[in-house]
Amino acid sequence: MELGLVHQLFGAARSAAGERLYEVRTCAPAGPGLIRTDADFPVGAQHGPEALAWADTVLIPASHEEDESLTPGGLPAPLARALDAAAAPESLTRLASICTGAFVLAAAGLLDGRRATTHWLSTDLFARTFPSVTVDPDVLYVDEGRILTSAGEAAGVDLCLHMIREDHGAAVAADVARRTVVPPHREGGQAQYIQRPVPVGVSTSTSETRAWAEERLATPLTLSELAARASMSVRTFSRRFREETGLTPMQWLTRRRVDRARELLESTDHTVDRVATEAGFGTAASLRQHFVARVGVSP
């Protein structure tokens, strides 16, 4: 599944002229040939580990039981050498993993001293096997610069969209999400799962209110107004909202506004003052404060 979503998402990325923005290739540790999967069909690989030498991004999907059997230094020599070369300081290659693919990066020693995540069912084993890695079991993905890790399969979608957004901007990432009919943006810091089932009835979910708020980001919105829109008390709304998104309502609103500001900055020639107004921050100073906190650079 993870291999397919990588091909689908990166393969769907297009420039304004409609040109493909990524060339996606499948590699196998043992070299070209058929790869056994945990489904009822094999996958053909055209390349071996040597292909990592010319890759801009290396994405490692999950092999589940095989991944979980790995220990430090336990990778096949050709794959270990290829990953070491890709991670070398002089290399500009970005390395990422989906689900238990993090075990591969950790076995290569590439996560030592770093923060990382994997599927929540595997985090205890991961932490025991690789004590030099700081494991965060509660997030969708972790971005450590050139090395990124994500949680389970669906979180791989979020990681891929995050990387596309970093490479080509919010508009391209949003277009990929539309083409592939997936949610356009979930924060890496959101929870992997919730303890209680997400309410499914329209009257008990905050999804409609979130969609309503998305259309009104330029308008001042208070927690009380959002709760009233959902026909809930502030306390109930706040609890349901966090259960469904992993964020408080105002955290979510601020992040959506930063995303909106980023889209406007990338796609228009608006002044920072105008972007601040249209994104709902009111002033350029407020936009700069939240933008730097979220993106790491000034707008």
- Does the pLDDT value for residue 199 go beyond 60? no
What is the domain count for the chain? 2
Whole-number pLDDT of residue 56 = 94
With respect to residue 287, please indicate whether it lies within any of the assigned structural domains.
yes
What is the percent of the chain with per-residue pLDDT over 90, rounded to a whole number?
56
Residue 185 lies in a domain: no
Whether residue 299 lies inside any domain: the answer is yes
Q: CA angle 172-175-178, nearest 5°?
A: 155
pLDDT in tens, 31-67: 888 887 777 778 888 899 999 999 999 999 988 778 8
**What's the pLDDT at 174?**
85
pLDDT at site 295 = 78
CA pair distance 246, 251, nearest whole angstrom:
10
Mean pLDDT over residues 71-83, rounded? 93
| pLDDT value at residue 128 | 96
pLDDT at 267: 82
Per-residue pLDDT, 195: 46
Same domain, 175 and 33: yes
Which pLDDT does position 189 carry in this prediction?
54
Which CA distances in Å does 33 have to 44, 82, 104, 159?
Answer: 6, 18, 20, 28
pTM exceeding the 0.85 threshold for the entire prediction = no
CATH of the domain at 295: 1.10.10.60
Q: Does residue 161 sit in the same domain as residue 204? A: no
Confidence of residue 285 (pLDDT cuts 50, 70, 90): very high
pLDDT averaged over the chain? 87
User: Are 114 and 176 members of one domain?
Assistant: yes
pLDDT higher at 147 or 68: 147
**Residue 44, H or E segment:** strand 43-45
Last residue of a domain, one of 146, 180, 214: 180
- Better-scored residue on pLDDT, 2 or 185: 2
The band of 19, judged by pLDDT with boundaries at 50, 70 and 90, is: very high
SS3 of 27, please?
A: strand
Provide the domain limits for residue 101: 2-180
Name the region of 138 (left: φ>0; alpha: ψ -120 to 50; beta: rest): alpha
Q: Examine the pLDDT at 196 and tell me if it is beyond 60.
A: no
Q: How confident is the model at residue 201 (pLDDT cuts 50, 70, 90)?
A: very low
